[in-house]
Structure 1
Amino acid sequence: MNAISLDATDCRILSVLQNEGRISNLDLAERISLSPSACLRRLRLLEEQGVIERYRACLNREALGFELEAFVQVSMRNDQENWHERFADAVREWPEVIGAFVITGESHYLLRVLAHNLKHYSEFVLSKLYKAPGVMDIRSNIVLQTLKEDSGVPVALTRTSPRGREA
């Protein structure tokens, strides 16, 4: 998919929305120096183009009792039929897995896992992950401290169109 060309105003809209998803259109328009109607038109166009996929709330994990985060590398036996599809289906069913990626390197997958504590994580690994079809090796990396975490897109690095499009 080709990247959509955005102007500086679009980028300002996206930057504000990534940090304040519940901002009203009136406040957003004021923040980026547009009229409310022009701001709403741009916002709707960004939604229609698929630049804005959805709106969501960021929850505090610790406040909800999730004290353990782990990145888990999973290697598979690829001699079983449909091993990838079967594992992918299993991963989608596990609420502990908040991110799952097919990767290059020694492992096939990288999972981002949240658990209440070490006991919960151990139960997840032993009762779900190790029992998944085709799993050969699991290597866990427990997060000790998060230095940076941003689930947004670096809008400042987005290529902007040379001419601003009309508001």
Structure 2
Amino acid sequence: MTGFTLDATDCRILAVLQEDGRISNLDLAERISLSPSACLRRMRLLEEEGVIASYRACLDRERLGIELEAFVHVSMRNDQENWHETFAAAVREWPEVVGAFVVTGDTHYVLRVLAHNLKHYSDFILSKLYKAPGVIDIRSNIVLQTMKDDAGVPVALIEQPVRAPTP
């Protein structure tokens, strides 16, 4: 992305699309006070520039029988060759892990894990995570209640105009 700048209208488009990714171009154009053709042109440019990375549906985990969410802190032995790459490859294969982060602090990784129930979670920990090469410590935080879960990017944090980073 070189020389691409977001303006206030682009930010409004992004805010609306994060609320409702299925909104029609006509309704989106009306909500942000643009003509449908100008709105579509801007949306396509945001997609081409990679600002809009994808569209997806948000599923209701509870209705699908996924009752448990946990944040798992994982510490590794780092004296083995390729320890990070080996663990990262394993994490990508586990469907229970929906988020994985390399972090600072007392642990190397924080994993966001979803499971049907406590038994499923326990099976994941014992049969997959503990068996991953180099894992020396696992500490789990089970989510009791979600106070806020907004996976989008807060458009309010975008300074206007924003100069996109150059490669």
In 2: Cα distance, 1:94 partner to 1:161 partner: 40
Q: Which residue of 1 aligns with 2:158?
A: 158
In 2: Cα distance, 1:154 partner to 1:65 partner: 29
Task: Give the CA deviation at 1:79.
Answer: 1.1
Task: Give the CA deviation at 1:7.
Answer: 1.1
Task: Give the CA deviation at 1:46.
Answer: 0.5
5+ residue gaps in structure 2?
Answer: 163-167
Q: Which residue of 1 aligns with 2:148?
A: 148
Q: Which residue of 1 aligns with 2:57?
A: 57
Paired letter, 2:81: E
TM-score by length of 2: 0.94
Q: Which residue of 1 aligns with 2:94?
A: 94
Helix, strand or coil: the match of 1:123? helix
- Where do 1:15-164 residues align within 5 Å? 15-161=15-161
In 1: Cα distance, 2:107 partner to 2:58 partner: 30
| Cα displacement string for residues 27-57 of structure 1 (whole angstroms, at most 9, x for unaligned residues) | 1001111000000000011111110000000
Q: Which residue of 2 aligns with 1:165?
A: none
Paired letter, 2:77: R
In 2: Cα distance, 1:140 partner to 1:124 partner: 12
Task: Give the CA deviation at 1:2.
Answer: 8.6
Q: 8 Å contact 1:61–1:67 — kept in the other structure?
A: yes
Q: How many residues matched?
A: 162
Aligned-residue RMSD, C-alpha: 1.5
5+ residue gaps in structure 1?
Answer: 163-167
Percentage of matched positions with identical amino acids: 80
Task: Give the CA deviation at 1:5.
Answer: 2.9
In 2: Cα distance, 1:139 partner to 1:4 partner: 43
